[in-house]
Amino acid sequence: MEFILVTPQARTHVALIQLNRPKELNALNLQLMGELRDALKELDENEEVRAIIITGNERAFAAGADIKQMAGKTAIDMLNMDQFSTWDQIRKTKKPIIAAVSGFALGGGCELAMTCDMIIASETAMFGQPEIKIGVMPGAGGTQRLTKAIGKAKAMEMVLTGKFMTADEAEKQGLINRVVPVELYLEEAFKLAGEIAQMSPVAARLAKESVNRSFETQLDEGLHFERKNFYLCFASEDQTEGMNAFVEKRKPEFKGR
């Protein structure tokens, strides 16, 4: 594993996965996501593990999908790359997953945190779906999960302006479980994971499945719809302009084409 660190038994029955591309603010490239999928599959099959924590570092949980990897892609490249089958497998992990978030959780980073079952945040955490600023839109569940978590008006504002939400606001809006001082966020995640790990793994599995079921019957359809629109963004000049501008460190000029 090059971009993640896995400690299968960081504490009793609790495994820790740390995203580990710190220089790139843990930007989620295809390799990292593949490694994450494989690690989760292994931990799901490991009978000693009863709860999983995914974390980044103090500065960033993850600043989104890797823009540099996507910048030159066409809609059909994106379709053929089929990165969302990886996300689908992560979503199907049977054991409870807690995201321990500090710093940036943006774009795919925010979507990854929302794909987890619970979120513990440090007071420095910032949540956002800033894809609109680079000429695209959320593609890994953002429009669906954020809306379900915080409601239409707030989600719409975040998705259409790209503005970030502080950890305090995210707690108020019900996006996350709680906020703690930065030196305690991982500890707090371990505390929660430890509590869950003392419960029946069978009941925990079935309970997780059932809570998710409350909205997932409609989620498949929503994700399918979102995905088509995400791919379609890659047919626009604005996507090329937005992503190139990011890579070249300049302001984008969007033309609506």
Binding mask 116-145 for ligand HXC (x = CB under 6 A): --------------xx--x---xxx-----
Asked whether position 68 contacts ligand HXC by CB under 6 A, the answer is yes
Annotated catalytic residue, options 39, 100, 111, 113:
111
Burial class of residue 43, CB neighbours in 10 A (0-12, 13-18, 19+):
buried
User: Looking at beta carbons only, is 56 or 139 nearer to ligand HXC?
Assistant: 139
User: Looking at beta carbons only, is 96 or 109 nearer to ligand HXC?
Assistant: 109
3-state DSSP call for residue 35?
helix
- Told to judge if 108 belongs to the known catalytic residues of this protein, a careful annotator would answer yes
User: Which residue, chain included where needed, has tokens 């963004």?
Assistant: 233
Question: Is there a contact between 46 and 14 (Cβ–Cβ < 8 Å)?
Answer: no
Asked whether position 64 contacts ligand HXC by CB under 6 A, the answer is yes
Closest distance of CB 213 from ligand HXC, Å: 24
User: Looking at beta carbons only, is 56 or 107 nearer to ligand HXC?
Assistant: 107
Q: Which H helix or E strand runs over 216? A: helix 201-233
Asked whether position 228 contacts ligand HXC by CB under 6 A, the answer is no
**DSSP 8-state assignment for residue 106:** E
Compute the distance between CA of residue 90 and CA of residue 154 in angstroms, rounded to an integer. Answer: 26
Closest distance of CB 90 from ligand HXC, Å: 11
Using alpha carbons only, how large is the chain's radius of gyration in Å?
18
Question: Is there a contact between 116 and 99 (Cβ–Cβ < 8 Å)?
Answer: yes
Partner residues linked to 166 by β-bridges: 126
User: Looking at beta carbons only, is 104 or 127 nearer to ligand HXC?
Assistant: 104
Annotated catalytic residue, options 35, 60, 99, 131:
131
Token readout for 44 is 């799901």
- Told to judge if 131 belongs to the known catalytic residues of this protein, a careful annotator would answer yes
Interacting residues with ligand HXC (CB under 6 A) = 24-25, 27, 63-68, 104, 106-108, 130-131, 134, 138-140
